[in-house]
Amino acid sequence: MKVHLEIDCTPEEARTFLGLPDVGKANEFYVDAIAKAMKGAGNIEQVQEFAKNMAPMGQAGMKLFQSFMENGAAFAGGTKKKRED
């Protein structure tokens, strides 16, 4: 037997329902720091060095940052990357 349950809620409502902490302010700070550093980057090597220094989880953090950059570039170019399920 399969049961499908669909819940329509905001991310904030989902976090509250699951008892997860609100990390919105920490996320804003982290995104702002990355955005400010990216404005001063003149080439890809500077971006990579910054990512290595900022990545809180080592290699996993680097992969997350790489995904962030690729998705941002795709969004800026008006293309959508096909989601792999």
- pLDDT value at residue 77: 63
**Structure token digits, residue 81:** 């990357």
pLDDT tens sequence across 32-76: 877 777 776 667 777 777 767 666 666 676 777 778 778 777 776
> Which domain covers residue 54, as residue numbers?
11-77
Q: How many domains does the chain have?
A: 1
Model's pTM, two decimal places?
Answer: 0.37
E strand or H helix at 6: none
Tell whether 82 is covered by a domain: no
Does 82 score more than 60 pLDDT? no
In this structure, the dihedral spanned by the alpha carbons of residues 56, 59, 64 and 66, taken in order and rounded to 10 degrees, is 120
Tell whether 30 is covered by a domain: yes
DSSP string, 46-73: HHHHHHHHH-TTTHHHHHHHHHHHHHHH
> What whole-number distance in Å separates Cα of residue 82 and Cα of residue 59?
24
Residue 79: which pLDDT band, with cuts at 50, 70 and 90?
low
- Per the model's pLDDT, the better-predicted residue between 49 and 28 turns out to be 28
